[in-house]
Every structure is written in C-alpha cells, then in structure tokens.
Structure 1
Amino acid sequence: MRSSLLRHRLVHIGGRVTAGAALLAVTAGCGLLGGDEPAPGPGIPVKVAALALADVAPLHIAIDHGLFAQRGIAVTLIPASSGQDAITKLASGDADIAYAGDIAAVNAVDGGLPLKIVAEAAVAGERTMRVLARQDGPAQSVPDLAGKKLGRNAPGGVSDTLTKSLMADHGADPNSVTWANLEFGAMAAAVKAGDIEAALFPEPFATKAEKEHGLRPIADPATGSAKNFPIGLYGATDAFATANPGAIAGFQRAMRDAAAAAMANRKLVEDTAVKHLKGIDADTAALMELPVYRSDPIITELQRVPDLMRRYGAKFRRPIQMSELIIPPPPPGT
C-alpha cells in the first residue's frame, strides 16, 4: 500500500523524478534526511528571498537536510513579506533567487525585469487556499463578495487575481471590490474585526485563521478557471543565471529532490512547518491542506498564468511566453 501511494504521489511531480529523488522520498522518514552523511563544504553562496508559506517547505527541507550542500551551493534565506517584496530584493541584488507567486513574477517580467524561471515551487491543490469570512458576516457566499472590501497580500498578485477569477466564475463583478493590502499574518484579525469582509488565505494562514479566529471558508479559489493553478516559482535575474550556471543547476537538482521528498512524506512537511513557520504548532500543521510540490517546470501549465491574467484585466506591454523564461533543468538522474 505504501509503495503504491508513493508511486501515485510522485506522478504528480510531473513524471520526471530521478532515481535519487525517488530514493530520497522513500527514505525521507528513515534516516536519509536525518543528516547521517556529513555535509560537503560551504559551496557557492546563494541568497534566496522567500515568504513564510507552506509552498516553500521543500526549500527548507533542502537546507535543513543538506541537499543544497550536496549540490555544491550554500543557501542563505532572506525573509520577504510578499512575492513583490522578494522580487524587489532580487532586482536590487539583495537576493540571487526569489520565491514569488507566478502572477507577481509575470508582472515583474512585464515591468522589464529580466527574470528567468529557475524552478517551480507549488501548484494549488484542493483547498490549499481558501477565501475566509466571519461566521456571522455579510459575506456568506462568493456572490456576496461583490461590492465588499476584501484583503489581498499585494496588488497584482495571486490573492487578488484568483479572487477575481473566483468571483467571475460565480457571476459576481470583480471590479466592484475595494481592496486592502495586508500581510497574510494580519488578514485574520482584520476579517474578524470587520475591517475587511473576506480575504484569500494560503497555508498555513488559512488553517490558523480557522482554528484561532473562527473564520469560515466561503470557497476554494483554485477551482473553475484556476483549478490546479501554478501558485509559486523560483526566479533569478538573467545576469545571475548566466554568470552562475553551476549554482542554478545545483539549486534545480536539490529542489527536485526536496519536492519529491515533500510529496512522499507529509510528516516531513509538517515538521518543517512547525520549525520554520511562525506560530504554527503540530496540531495546526497536521490540519493544513498542502499544495502539490513540483520543481521541473511544465510549460503548458505555466502559460495559464499570463493567459488568466489577461482574462481579468492585465494589459501586457508585449505577449508573455513562459517558455522563453524557463531555464531548462538538468536531465533527471544527473
């Protein structure tokens, strides 16, 4: 049963799992990720800007268990408050690689940033994001969101674009909404206080808001037009990628193995969340709805991002072809 489940989960990573990654996934809870082998030397320094989200669990797994070190790179995490903040750090040189929502990354490319996609991070699974509201508030269904004040993490990001998509799919006017820009950690209190009526919450913030603030889910935004939507990626500037091909390839290999381990071992992800995500205890981690973790880009899926953005009002300066942005990952098994 366990081996059958493992094979099923590894298929979701895109059918490109290396033998080493599969071995890592099988033994993730049995010692291979336990630091039995001494880590190599410090390697090429790489600064990675990232948010405190469940989406980046494989990044922490790769750091904690020496997967980057095994590939000859030394990763330092740079905290970011949003995908846009991470991209700002990337553009300024404060970060070499940045985790950001796919939508924020596309906006950055359209704005002129020479961004290249190093790896994917996560794809929305069932209920991995939820639009939450007060139990007794005026927003009891998706159509009720029309004309309301809603929360979003930042303009032009995943939170507002997928909320707009959800509303349009339910016949509500997304242009009728007033937005408040808030960090994810501040949204639950704002909803409970009535400062906003609802907001889209990713994990772990969704589970935490339900558990600690009693908020109720209105809908899963990753349905309809946004079903199985790519929600996060790792990007680098073209200049950094060109100057550091070894670091890029090492990052891609390590993240491929870490994504496989995360998909194969939920307990590993839960333990990682408790260790690295502020305010998350073991009970909350056990309740989280996790995304599908994958690293190797799937072009047709990534192209859905600018296509959906155009549908909901994005005016690009030029057509965005995601295939032109991808740095091809090393072949599996290398």
Structure 2
Amino acid sequence: MSRSRSTLAVVGALVSVGALVACGGPESATAEDGFTSVTVGNMNSNSLTFPLLVAQEEGFFTDVGLRVDTVNSVSGPELTAALIGGTTQIAVGTPENVMPAMAQGQDILTIPPFGRLDMSLVTLADSGIEDISALAGRQVGVVQRGSFSEKFARSVIADHGLDPDSVTYVAVGSGATMEPAVRNRKVDATVGATSTVALLEQHGLDVRTLANSLDGTGGEAGTFGMQTMWTTTAPFQQQHPGIVDGFCTAMNRAGAWIADDANRDAGAQKLSTLLAVPQETAEKIWDRTHLSWTYRIDQEKWDKVSAWVLEENTSELPYTDHVMTDCGEEL
C-alpha cells in the first residue's frame, strides 16, 4: 500500500472513533481480586491474532495478573486509530497501517510477538501456469489494490525477472469473495494468506503454489517480510510498564506454545473454532504457520519492512524509538 493510501485509511478511521475519544478512553484498573484490566484491540476470526486466543485460553494472562478485555475491529486502520485515540491500550497491528501513522509522528511502540509475512501466490493446478514467468499478460487477484498482497505479488514477480507491470492486478477481496473469483477463473492466479489458501482447498479447488513467504520460495519479501505485530503507545508504556511487560510475557508464552508441535491437536482445535473451519483444514493451517511468531526483530528487518511500506527514506522511523527489544520474558 502506498504511504498516502495507508495514511488516509488511518485518518479516516480516527474520525470514526473521535466521539469515543472525546468522552475519554478506558483506564486500566486493578480489581479487588488483584487482576489488572487492559483493553486490547483484536481482529476477530483471524489467524493473525491466534497468539491472543492461546494466551487467553491457556491462562497465560491470568498467570501474570491481567484481565484482557478485547475490542474487535474489522480492519487494520480501525485498530491503529483506536489505539491512537485511546479506545484501546494495546492492539494488534499491521505494518501497512502502523508505520504510516508512526511516520506522521504518532508515538507508537511495537511489542512482541511479531508475525512473519504469511502470503502465497497460487494458481489452479490446471491453469497451465507452471511458474511465475508465465504470469506476463495475466490477471492476479489481490485483496485490494495497493495492499500488502499486491506488494508481495510485485516483489516475487520482480525476483523472477519479470516486469511487475506486465501483470494486471485485480481486487478480489479475501476468503469468501476470493474463492469464487478463482473458481470462475476471473483471475489467473491470486495472493492469499495460509488460511485463505486452505479455504480454497476446502472448497475443492486444486491449487498450485507459485511462491510462499513461509517456505523459502517467497523471494526477498519472504525473507524479511512481517505481517503483524502488537502495539501500544509510548505514554501508556511509560505510565504502566508492568502491564505492558506482563502482556508481552503472556504473549511470548503463547508463541512458544504454538511453536511446540506437541500442541498440534489442541492448537488445531482452537484454530478450527477461531476460523470456523473443519479440523482437517485447521491442521493444515497449523502445520504451515505454527512457527510464524517470534519474540524479537532486529534493526535490519525493521528497516527493510519500513522501506517496503513507506517506499522512501526510513530515517523517520528509528528502530530504537518504535521497537521494544526487551518486553516481557523471553522463551
């Protein structure tokens, strides 16, 4: 997504939360039972927020004395806007929404766990497209124009020596709207997250993967790409360091739990419920993504993701100003 488009999305979402902010955001409070409440922005029914579900259901928040109240949003811009406005105190974020807000001067901190870029470029097995070089002159489905999905497609196409502008990019949405576009051959290939590809397969589509950010075939973007991180504001962290540290500890434990394949059956059951998919589909998603979360990112990765998102000099997003490198217990 271009910087201007991301920025407009965040600003637009800020307008929608303005009334809430004017009335005052929620305050963290310690109840009589000793637990401290914190309000967290979340994307409901989305595998990118899987660690939050695990931390809740496995009692990791309880272990650190936190009671997490979630506020579900339907989009990344809404999540970032609510965090900036004070409606939430911690929120899941995506680089394409968080980094433009940072570049505008918003005092946002990123905290773990950080999620690797999870995108695949796929085509129907009988499409006649054997590799990326055959995409010239074809139509590729993306969630929306200028989105991360289009950035990924352009990146892997360029990595294979093909001019990204030789391909036509078509906005097909995700999940329920992407599936019929592929089935009815409105596009020749499409970009989707692991859960989206699993949905295509669940609906009986035989797909061939041309590039995948998680298996080493996603080129440079697959190496450095980041799809999600958790965020808070610098003022909240300064005022409530114990809450933020406890949140990080619980989420790091969740990431470690997900990385342990001994939890595959239980994890797949959680994913099945979260995404409303059959257990078999959830198991495929687990197998492909359970190593996706990490405790920290280094400055090189941060700078590369920033450059990818903002498409310009990233000196305005200093790593040390926006990344907490020692938040919570590392596992």
What residue in structure 1 maps to residue 264 of structure 2?
266
Answer yes or no: is the 8 Å Cα contact 1:56–1:121 preserved in 2.
no
C-alpha displacement of 1:251 = 0.8
Q: 1:230 to 1:178 in 2, by over 3 A?
A: closer
C-alpha displacement of 1:318 = 5.0
Letter in 1 for 2:183: K
What residue in structure 1 maps to residue 8 of structure 2?
none
Answer yes or no: is the 8 Å Cα contact 1:49–1:95 preserved in 2.
no
Distance (whole Å) between structure 2 residues aligned to residue 323 and residue 175 of structure 1? 36
Deviation string, structure 1 residues 106-164 (Cα, Å, up to 9, x no partner): 2332344332102133225xxx5321233444755323434444333345543222211
After superposition, the CA RMSD in angstroms is: 2.9
Letter in 2 for 1:84: P
Q: 1:70 to 1:117 in 2, by over 3 A?
A: same
Deviation string, structure 1 residues 187-206 (Cα, Å, up to 9, x no partner): 22222233433322112221
Higher relative contact order (CA 8 A, sep 6+): 1
Distance (whole Å) between structure 2 residues aligned to residue 65 and residue 153 of structure 1? 33
Provide the aligned length of Structure 1 versus Structure 2. 288
**Which of 66, 69, 73 does residue 66 from structure 2 map onto?**
73
Q: 1:107 to 1:189 in 2, by over 3 A?
A: farther
Distance (whole Å) between structure 1 residues aligned to residue 229 and residue 330 of structure 2? 22
What residue in structure 1 maps to residue 322 of structure 2?
325
The DSSP-based 3-state class of the residue aligned with 2:323 is: coil
Answer yes or no: is the 8 Å Cα contact 1:168–1:174 preserved in 2.
yes
Distance (whole Å) between structure 1 residues aligned to residue 107 and residue 147 of structure 2? 19
Letter in 1 for 2:251: M
What residue in structure 2 maps to residue 227 of structure 1?
222
Gaps of 5+ in 1: 1-39
Deviation string, structure 1 residues 264-311 (Cα, Å, up to 9, x no partner): 122232121012113x1111011221152434222233333124446x
Answer yes or no: is the 8 Å Cα contact 2:295–2:330 preserved in 1.
no
What residue in structure 1 maps to residue 203 of structure 2?
212
What residue in structure 1 maps to residue 273 of structure 2?
275
Answer yes or no: is the 8 Å Cα contact 2:61–2:68 preserved in 1.
yes
What residue in structure 1 maps to residue 23 of structure 2?
none
Distance (whole Å) between structure 1 residues aligned to residue 144 and residue 318 of structure 2? 24
Deviation string, structure 1 residues 74-121 (Cα, Å, up to 9, x no partner): 222333334334323333434332223334432332344332102133
Answer yes or no: is the 8 Å Cα contact 1:162–1:221 preserved in 2.
no
The DSSP-based 3-state class of the residue aligned with 1:292 is: coil
Answer yes or no: is the 8 Å Cα contact 2:109–2:233 preserved in 1.
yes
**Which of 149, 162, 171 does residue 172 from structure 1 map onto?**
162
Deviation string, structure 1 residues 174-214 (Cα, Å, up to 9, x no partner): 23433416244422222223343332211222112123140
What residue in structure 2 maps to residue 162 of structure 1?
152
Distance (whole Å) between structure 1 residues aligned to residue 330 and residue 158 of structure 2? 43
2:228 equivalent to 1:251: no
TM-score normalised to the size of structure 1? 0.74
Equivalences for 1:58-137 in 2 at 5 Å? 58-124=51-117, 129-137=119-127
Of the structure 1 ranges 167-176 and 60-69, higher mean CA displacement relative to structure 2 is found in: 167-176
Identity %: 20
TM-score normalised to the size of structure 2? 0.75
Q: 1:47 to 1:331 in 2, by over 3 A?
A: closer
The DSSP-based 3-state class of the residue aligned with 1:44 is: strand
2:41 equivalent to 1:48: yes
Equivalences for 1:290-309 in 2 at 5 Å? 290-299=289-298, 300-309=300-309
Answer yes or no: is the 8 Å Cα contact 1:252–1:329 preserved in 2.
no
Answer yes or no: is the 8 Å Cα contact 1:169–1:225 preserved in 2.
yes
Gaps of 5+ in 2: 1-32
Distance (whole Å) between structure 2 residues aligned to residue 204 and residue 198 of structure 1? 16
